[in-house]
Structures are given as C-alpha cells and as structure tokens.
A and B are shown apart, each in its own frame.
Chain A
Amino acid sequence: MHDNDHSEDRRQHGDSAKKVEEERRQRGVYSERRQQRVPVKHDRRRHGISVKAIEITVAALMLALGLVVIFDSRRVGYGWADDGPQAGYFPFYIGLILCAASAWSLLRAAFSNRAASGVFVSRKKLRLVLSVFFPSLIYVIAIYFIGIYAASALFIGAFMYWHGRFPWIKIIPVSLIVPVSMFLLFELWFMVPLPKGPLEALAGY
C-alpha cells in the first residue's frame, strides 16, 4: 500500500502541471481515501507544516480546555454539599484527567522524534483543504442572509465551477435540482422548516 502511495506521489510531481490540470478537468477532483500518513523523510518538494507543530498546538489547546473545565468546576463547587455532590464534582475530575492526558501528548510530541515526525500537510494539500473549508464557511454565513436554498445553489455551482471546471450547461441544472428537491422534501413533505431568505419570501414562503 505504501509503495503504491509513493508511486502516486511521484506521478503527480513528475507530471507536468498541465496534464494534472487536464485530468482534473475530466474527472473532477477525485480522491483516495487513505487514512494513514505516508512517512516522508527529507523530501524537499513536500514541505509544509510539520506534524510536530500541529501535535503541540492541538495538545496545548486541549490542555487549555482542561484548565477551563477545572476552573469552571471550582466556580460551581466541586465538593460535597448538604444534599450530595455539587455540580462540579464530576467535571472536576474529567478536567484533571484531560489536563494530564494532554500534557502527556504535549511532552511526547515535544521530546520524542518518533512520535511526531514528518509533514502534517504539504502546502499543496493545505490549499486543497482550505479551498473546501473557506467556501463552506462562506456558505454557512450566506445561509444567515439569503436562506439555505439559495445559498446551497450558489455553493454547489461555485464548487462545480472552481473544482470541477464544468461548463455552465452542466452547472446550472445540477445546482438547481438539488435545492429544489430539498425544498420539496423538507418544506412540503416532511414539513420541516429550513432557514429561508428574501427569495423564498417573494414566492410566498
């Protein structure tokens, strides 16, 4: 499996950008769902954020969260009242274990090279991930203003345009069919109201 991964990488890097681009245009952005990381050592082409930095950041955030839990449990009382344990009794210990466990991860990431080595995500991959994340974020914000149906249509259309390079003749029907069928399913059949905006208000919903 690992050999396979490497050869895929080589192919990607070896190929001219044009060919990759063309391939993407043909098939849309496809993916291999591999969960394990490929151990890459000293590969200059694949620089990016190191695993170590991310490990330490995540562990530190968890440690901070643990401290918040402890702090708040102390605020509401973590001891014993007349009628039994106080509200912070159980969470207090949860916070303690959380702090201990994340401190362990933190130290392990900071001092053990075996535990945290390699590249977390290369620049190229990070760009791909962010190119999904930011549109999703904008989509969620857009739901506030124009409702979920219009936002979904725009989101799907934009995604197909940027990532799939589809022609408009394909983008328009797909990005309309999905929200319309959602509308029929939720508003009319299941009677579950979803967030709506000015467009739906015009149509009387």
Chain B
Amino acid sequence: MEEFNSLMQGFSVALTFHNLLYMLVGILLGVLIGVLPGLGGANGVAILLPLTFTMPPTSAIIMLSCIYWGALFGGAITSILFNIPGEPWSVATTFDGHPMAKSGRAGEALTAAFTSSFVGALVAVIMITFLAPLVAKFSLKFGPPEFFAVQLLTFCSFVGLGKGHPAKTLTAMMIGFALAAVGLDSVTGTLRMTFGTSELLRGFNFLIAVIGLFGIGEILLTMEEGLAFKGVHARINPRVVWHTWKQLPKYWLTALRATLIGCWMGITPGGATPASFMSYGIAKRFSKTGEKFGTGEIEGVIAPETAAHAAGTSALLPMLTLGIPGSPTAAVLLGGLLIWGLQPGPLLFVEQKEFVWGLIASMYIGNVVGLIIVLTTVPWWAAILRVPFSIIAPVIIVICAIGAYTVNNAMMDVVLMLVFGVVGYLFKKLDYPLAPLVLALVLGDMAESSFRQSMLLSRGEVSIFWSNGLVGSICGLAMLMLFWPVISEILQRMRRGNNDLDAQRPVE
C-alpha cells in the first residue's frame, strides 16, 4: 500500500499544468524524432538534454522520458506505412505491418500497433511501480563488489544476448570504457590519455558520442541508398479504431507472452530490439495461423510492438534502482540524472521521493496521452516523411551540430561529433554494436570506482567477487552470459536448429 500512496503523491507532482505541458511537448517531439531518419530516441534525448539543464529535474525527466515514449510510438508509423523501420526495434513490425497497410488495412495495423504498445508499456509501468521499490530496498544492502558484479552482468549480457560477434561486442564495449577513462582521474588526480592537450582534459562526453554515432552515422547510412520510396496513405477514424479494439482481446495470450518477454529483456540489458524479434518468433510458433505470418497478420504486429514497448519501459527499472540503464536511451537519461545532480541508485528512492514517483506517475499519464496523440495525428507524421530527404538531411545535421555544441559550448565537440559519425557509420556497416559502447561510456566511471573500492576492500584480491553467495551468483550469471555464445554454439551443433528470423535482426 505504501507504493500506492507514493504513486498518488507522484500523480500530484506530474499533474501540474507545467508538467503536463512538458509531457505534451515531449510526446510530440518524440514522435517526430521517431519518424525522422537519423534521429532516434537516444540522440533525440541527447540533443535536447542541454536545454533542460536549467529546468527543475522532475520536469526535465518528465519531458525527456516522454520523448522516449513518443519515439517508441513513432517507430511504428514509418514501419507500417513506409516499410522503413524508424528505429531498430520496429524492424519486426514491418514484417506484418506493411503487408497489412498495402492491402488497405493501414488504419487497423496502426491502431493495433499503438494499442499493443500502450498495453505493453502499461504493464511494464505497473511492474516498475511495485517492483522498483523492492529492488531499491534490496540493493541498499549492496556494497561495491555487488555493484561491480551487477555492472559486470550488464556488460556480459551484451555478449550473451546481443546479435553481434562477441569479439566486436567486446571491442565496442572496451572503446567505451577507454573513452570514459580519458581526462582527469578524480580519485588520484592524475591526467589519463590527454597527451598534453587541454581539449581532452574534460574527457569524452557521452552526449557527443550519442549524437555522432546515432545521428550523423545514421544520416550517412541513409544517404547510401539513393532510392525513392513509396508510402501508403493512412487515415484512422474512430470506426476503424473501435473495430480493431473489438478484436484485440482475442489475442490476450500473445500480448501476455510479449509483455513477459519485453519486461525480462528490458530489465536485463537485452533491450527492445531482441525482445521484439523474440516475441515475433514465439508468436509465430504458437499462433494457430502461424504459417500466415508475414502476409499481414494482426498478431504479427501485436507481438513485436507489445514486447518492444514493454522492454523500452522496463529498461528504466534498473536505471532508477541500480543506476544501470537497460538501453542506450535509458543511458542518456541516466547521464541526465548525473548532470542534474541526482545520484541514480537505491538511495534515489529514499532521498528523491518526489522525483522518482513524479517520473513513474508521468509514465502512466505520458503513455495515455501518447496513445491519444498518435491515434489522432498519424496523417501529419506520414506527411513529414514525404518531405524530400534533401531538406530533412541538412536540417538534421544542423540540429545535431547545435546539440553537440550546447553540451559544453565547445567547437571541439562539433568536430568530435563528425568523427563519431564516421565511427558510427563504419561500426554499423561492420556490425559492431553501438549500445555497449554508449553504455560503457556512461557507466565507465561508476564501474571503475566500484571496482577500485572492491579492490581496496580486499587489498587487491579478485576473490572478493565470489566471497559471498549474492555477489558470487551474480558473477556466475555474468560468466554464463559472457560464454553464452560458446555454449549456444555447442548446443546448436547438438540440435542443428536454424533460426532464419534472427538473421534479419539488426545489431543495435
């Protein structure tokens, strides 16, 4: 019941006029970001983060998290109408969503996508409401070794759950850690890897990396294909919405499975993309009409959308309770917390009650508002995609440059953004995953300090990481994840199963 009271308090924070306005602005910007190529949840939030430095933290996080929900909704629009996944997690939505749209059922597909996203997010928020305080309470007992173990688990999960080759995942991750180490070491006061330049003193800001890797990199990739695309016109009227809603309850089991997969993949840093693919694959296997998947089955839209939204939302649970984000966008939000002077982690629930519960309450309202907005405004967003790319591309590059400049008011950062853009282009094309790089860059300092503190406690003995049952089992799980590619290879050789769906999954 305690959670319920706190939640009600949170609603009183979130339901002020100002915060509702920020919410609306956030959702609208988010859908726009989700629809436009080259701008996604992570770098959209990164570009807007500097503008929130002067805002009260609660309003700022409400607006930024609403951008995230909006981007999650927006990805579905381009997948269904244009067969272009606006975000990696909506690739699976194109499989059945676009065929539906082509056969004149665009309104139905969009309604199903938005509604099931909403359901997935709602279940995930309810889970956060009741689970997060418990996790936070539990992790109050954590010492440095436990925190390092959880961080280790996070990073090992990328190797185990990610689609990229383990060597590439590890490389990307270590680049992130190495970049995080550049600059002044706050413990010993030593300068690391600055090579005598004053520009490197500040170190590498993760916001610049996110804007470059995801923004500029994506534009370069998009430019590569100089093709014209044709979209399907769509209009949603209340009759279509009502008609679709009437048939949705039939698929409750699919939605339930998708939500469970999504919540699980969101909490462990699997992320929304693998969750949507896994959910699609499982729905196909269990559905009575499984063989018709890919030709425009509504179930094939419900499954990935529910899972992606559930995963995207529950990615905030470990961020709030442990200070470990479950997705790149959550990582950027975490960076925001640090900038606003809030220490993420279990103490947040004790010291910043208003902030945490205001945010959780805003997730409920934000998703309701988001659903209404996207259902009513689809034609506008589709029209934006019809603006020629030769106008959109330079405008996005200009926005990225401004975003990069405003982080520290430094021109050096704009140049760095371009460098990261080239890196992002190369990495994306070579299937190096970007998510671990960003997460390592954000968490690098925290991981290092918990590692150092653990080493201080044990006087340099690594055995502290299996000194008690808790830390030992987390580390054991981490090792299982780390060696999962090898284990699954062996298992697969024994079984000879082949999953062709996995081959289409993008590397995040």
Task: Tell me the nearest residue of chain A to B91, going by C-beta.
Answer: A35
When distances are taken between beta carbons in the complex, the residues of chain B under 8 Å from A159 are 390-391, 393-394
Verify if A136 is at the interface (C-beta below 8 Å from B): yes
Shortest Cβ distance from A45 into chain B, in angstroms?
A: 16
Verify if A32 is at the interface (C-beta below 8 Å from B): yes
Among the stretches B10-18, B170-178, B375-383, B469-477, the one at the interface with A is: B170-178
A residues 70-105 near B (Cβ < 8 Å) are 72-73, 76, 80, 84-91, 94-95, 97-98, 100-102, 104-105
Shortest Cβ distance from B377 into chain A, in angstroms?
A: 21
Cα-based distance from A37 to B216 in the complex (angstroms)? 19
Q: Does A12 contact B227, Cβ atoms closer than 8 Å?
A: yes
Identify B390's interface contact among A85, A102, A164, CB under 8 A.
A164
Interface size band for A: 35 or more
Verify if B204 is at the interface (C-beta below 8 Å from A): no
Q: Does A140 contact B227, Cβ atoms closer than 8 Å?
A: no
Q: Does B190 contact A90, Cβ atoms closer than 8 Å?
A: no
Shortest Cβ distance from A146 into chain B, in angstroms?
A: 13
Q: Does A94 contact B411, Cβ atoms closer than 8 Å?
A: no
Cα-based distance from A32 to B223 in the complex (angstroms)? 9
Shortest Cβ distance from A194 into chain B, in angstroms?
A: 6
When distances are taken between beta carbons in the complex, the residues of chain A under 8 Å from B422 are 133
Q: Does B193 contact A85, Cβ atoms closer than 8 Å?
A: no
Cα-based distance from A76 to B37 in the complex (angstroms)? 43
Q: Does B192 contact A182, Cβ atoms closer than 8 Å?
A: no
Q: Does B426 contact A155, Cβ atoms closer than 8 Å?
A: no
Identify B409's interface contact among A30, A88, A193, CB under 8 A.
A193
Shortest Cβ distance from B458 into chain A, in angstroms?
A: 11
Verify if A190 is at the interface (C-beta below 8 Å from B): yes
B residues 405-457 near A (Cβ < 8 Å) are 405-406, 409, 411, 414-415, 418, 421-422, 425-430, 432, 448, 451-452, 455-456
When distances are taken between beta carbons in the complex, the residues of chain A under 8 Å from B395 are 156, 178
Q: Does B175 contact A62, Cβ atoms closer than 8 Å?
A: yes
Q: Does A137 contact B192, Cβ atoms closer than 8 Å?
A: no
B residues 140-183 near A (Cβ < 8 Å) are 165, 167-168, 170-171, 174-175, 177-178, 181
Q: Does A87 contact B411, Cβ atoms closer than 8 Å?
A: no
Q: Does A132 contact B220, Cβ atoms closer than 8 Å?
A: yes
Q: Does B398 contact A156, Cβ atoms closer than 8 Å?
A: yes
When distances are taken between beta carbons in the complex, the residues of chain A under 8 Å from B226 are 24, 29-31, 125, 128
Cα-based distance from A90 to B422 in the complex (angstroms)? 28
In the complex with contacts A30-B388, A89-B452, A156-B395, A97-B229 CB distance below 8 A: no
A residues 143-161 near B (Cβ < 8 Å) are 143-144, 148, 152, 155-156, 159-160
Task: Tell me the nearest residue of chain B to A175, going by C-beta.
Answer: B394
Shortest Cβ distance from B342 into chain A, in angstroms?
A: 22
Verify if B484 is at the interface (C-beta below 8 Å from A): no
When distances are taken between beta carbons in the complex, the residues of chain A under 8 Å from B178 are 65-66, 69, 91, 94-95, 98
Interface string of B383-409 (1 = CB under 8 A from A): 000001111011101100110011001
Given contacts A29-B390, A143-B411, 5 further A-B contacts (CB under 8 A): A12-B227, A30-B227, A89-B455, A90-B451, A108-B165
